[in-house]
Structure 1
């Protein structure tokens, strides 16, 4: 973590120095210059302090979330504008270092201002700027009755972060408006505590799907990220959380499977507990979850962490046709336009948002319904996924 922080600080300082040159080109006001460096110094001090904030409580988490938002607002606009100034310096080298152009500096400031406004939108309105993303998937062995069967997936609700009743209800209404046959939730109902869901139970109870609502647990649902006075208290929290799933009408699948039947045909819906690579717990057990599932059954798996697909599901002895995951949130920051997507999270997770295919097996990674850490979303908007299953030969591979 220290190395990453130092790298971020280095990039921040370089971008800061360059952008400051644009500021000094446009104004000689000493007060503005002092404010510029004072604000930056406070932000850098806050970034350094993160190193000393270990195993945080609720107050510390709020402090980190606020600092992350401030970093985005101040740092990212400068970073995006910096290449304009670097390009000008390259030209200046061959021209014998003439004074900086006022027009180039103005262009850099305008770019920074535009990015600043986008980020402010993401931190204020972006958290409930829901997007419905639709995909049609083809399977040669899909049971005939399920041709055209629709699934709505939501993930990463993180109810402990919610504060806007109307905003959350907007998302709930949009889920119901899809009128899908099946509703699946792929984990992280809360940030840490089961009680975080208490104000939101009535709203989420209104979610409907004729063939049922099913869910799995995510890494945050186990209460692993806060201190507990006793082990019994932590266990009681998890027990209560499982009750909440039932109260909002979701059948929680804990390393088990159920059969979805339609007009004499059936598919297997499998749900595993959280399993993640690296430092995440590996509670999930796909072998146990599928032990009563026939080898030739059409299988849909809910597994919160997409790394489970690469590490376990692909090589599982049974063919799992479709896996649904979440977890990454698309880092709640990135670019997702016109088929192009990028986020820093791609350097951590091979599969981090959208649809992937390998050897006739599909994975869909939902970008998340809620938010956590960063109190908003910038570019990676909250997602409601609608998947339509069709009989037929699989289309071209998706990367």
Structure 2
């Protein structure tokens, strides 16, 4: 992990320096040089301060600005590097001030374009359909469909129309079951109050089930007292019920169809690193130990690698979220990339290990980055097949 962080810092500095060389080409004003570096130092300093003071709104805005400027510098830097290589082969000794200046202007324009795309993409939902076959799936569940939502993050929403669009798309899938894999809010249960009626429109014939994510516990803001924080979590659990979710807190249920059933297990958040581990799989699985087929809801996909892949009895399918795919990257013709891959081994889509499957949902909402670029909000539909 430390090597990955150092690699990211080095890449950031390399891109920054490459762009700075463009600035040096068009001006020799040291005040401008100082302002260039001071801009990011101040932003990063404010972001660190915001994290320490748990000012999540401020941190989110600062991260958005930093990431947008980095993307713009990266894109422009690649163009500048390409021009430099061509210039060397063509025998020109120095950069053209006109071309370099144009690149800087282009970079500023690119930031504005990215801001517009971010704003417009907040409710650009993509439906990902996946079919998974299991030899030991009960015959009655052949063709059974699960719609998964994750990471709603209601505190980031501002558009009733946009959220309603997503809810309508979920219902349009006509799945047998709807599951939600955590992070209903950013911090406070109050964030979800305006959206209860909208999400209460969700329905599925075999029920709707949910778990908690790391943000749902209110660990990232300062509370007046531990009692107020505890009351917030109690209210959040009530909201799950008001929406129509059966919240699974380290517990399981049996989903019955005809003369067969499958076990659905829900654990509280279990994360790696500094993320809390409230999840207790041993406790959660107790009531469905004898079920021949088991599905696990676990917010953080790192739980799958650390515990679930070697767990006995076998858990056939795990559904997770948490990563958001960092809300930035690209997915094209089977190729997918996001900075998230440098933090999480499993960050989006379907994974398999010795007959055990993990599906990582890219998230319904957004947090930090005020929208999405390339990794769009996801409604995942999973069809279970026997065979």
The TM-score with structure 2 as length reference comes to 0.91
Q: Cα offset for 1:75? A: 2.6
Q: Cα offset for 1:290? A: 1.0
Contact 1:328 1:352 in 2 (8 A): yes
1:279 partnered with 2:274: yes
1:228 partnered with 2:231: no
1:155 partnered with 2:158: no
Q: Cα offset for 1:288? A: 1.0
Structure 2 residue aligned with 1:256: 251
In the aligned structure 1, how far is the partner of 2:210 from the partner of 2:13? Answer: 42
In the aligned structure 1, how far is the partner of 2:255 from the partner of 2:374? Answer: 36
287-296 vs 225-234, which moves further: 287-296
In the aligned structure 2, how far is the partner of 1:180 from the partner of 1:12? Answer: 46
Query: After superposition, what is the alpha-carbon deviation per residue over 1:130-151, rounded to whole angstroms, capped at 9, x for unaligned?
Result: 1111101111111111111111
Q: Cα offset for 1:390? A: 0.8
Structure 2 residue aligned with 1:10: 13
How many residues are aligned here?
Answer: 384
Q: Cα offset for 1:20? A: 3.0
Query: After superposition, what is the alpha-carbon deviation per residue over 1:114-159, rounded to whole angstroms, capped at 9, x for unaligned?
Result: 8546522442111111111110111111111111111100000011
In the aligned structure 2, how far is the partner of 1:358 from the partner of 1:104? Answer: 51
Structure 1 residue aligned with 2:304: 309
User: Structure 2 residue aligned with 1:356, among 351, 354, 361?
Assistant: 351
1:342 partnered with 2:332: no
Taking structure 1 as reference, are residues 165 and 195 closer, same or farther at Cα in structure 2, changes over 3 Å only?
same
Q: Secondary structure at the match of 1:128?
A: coil
User: Structure 1 residue aligned with 2:210, among 209, 215, 237?
Assistant: 215
Structure 2 residue aligned with 1:397: none
Taking structure 1 as reference, are residues 86 and 133 closer, same or farther at Cα in structure 2, changes over 3 Å only?
same
Q: Secondary structure at the match of 1:168?
A: helix
Q: Secondary structure at the match of 1:195?
A: helix
Structure 1 residue aligned with 2:44: 47
Q: Cα offset for 1:39? A: 6.7
Query: After superposition, what is the alpha-carbon deviation per residue over 1:4-30, rounded to whole angstroms, capped at 9, x for unaligned?
Result: 8964762353132244368x3xxx8x9
Contact 2:146 2:382 in 1 (8 A): yes
User: Structure 2 residue aligned with 1:172, among 158, 163, 167?
Assistant: 167
Q: Cα offset for 1:265? A: 1.1
Q: Cα offset for 1:50? A: 2.4
In the aligned structure 1, how far is the partner of 2:252 from the partner of 2:223? Answer: 32
In the aligned structure 1, how far is the partner of 2:21 from the partner of 2:83? Answer: 11
1:72 partnered with 2:61: no
Contact 1:118 1:378 in 2 (8 A): no
Contact 1:367 1:381 in 2 (8 A): yes
Contact 1:80 1:111 in 2 (8 A): no
1:129 partnered with 2:124: yes
1:291 partnered with 2:294: no
Query: After superposition, what is the alpha-carbon deviation per residue over 1:299-320, rounded to whole angstroms, capped at 9, x for unaligned?
Result: 1100000000000111111111
Q: Cα offset for 1:346? A: 0.7
In the aligned structure 2, how far is the partner of 1:5 from the partner of 1:84? Answer: 20
Q: Secondary structure at the match of 2:287?
A: coil
In the aligned structure 1, how far is the partner of 2:350 from the partner of 2:113? Answer: 26
Taking structure 1 as reference, are residues 78 and 371 closer, same or farther at Cα in structure 2, changes over 3 Å only?
same
Q: Secondary structure at the match of 2:310?
A: coil
Structure 2 residue aligned with 1:395: none
Structure 1 residue aligned with 2:375: 380
Structure 1 residue aligned with 2:23: 20
In the aligned structure 1, how far is the partner of 2:183 from the partner of 2:60? Answer: 18
In the aligned structure 1, how far is the partner of 2:102 from the partner of 2:43? Answer: 30
In the aligned structure 2, how far is the partner of 1:361 from the partner of 1:190? Answer: 30
Taking structure 1 as reference, are residues 376 and 40 closer, same or farther at Cα in structure 2, changes over 3 Å only?
farther
Contact 2:140 2:260 in 1 (8 A): yes
1:56 partnered with 2:59: no
Q: Secondary structure at the match of 1:364?
A: strand
Show structure 1 runs of 5+ residues with no match: 393-399
Q: Secondary structure at the match of 1:183?
A: strand
Q: Secondary structure at the match of 2:50?
A: coil
In the aligned structure 2, how far is the partner of 1:355 from the partner of 1:114? Answer: 37
Structure 1 residue aligned with 2:184: 189
Taking structure 1 as reference, are residues 126 and 247 closer, same or farther at Cα in structure 2, changes over 3 Å only?
same
User: Structure 1 residue aligned with 2:83, among 83, 88, 91?
Assistant: 88
Taking structure 1 as reference, are residues 16 and 211 closer, same or farther at Cα in structure 2, changes over 3 Å only?
same
In the aligned structure 1, how far is the partner of 2:298 from the partner of 2:138? Answer: 23
Contact 2:250 2:279 in 1 (8 A): yes
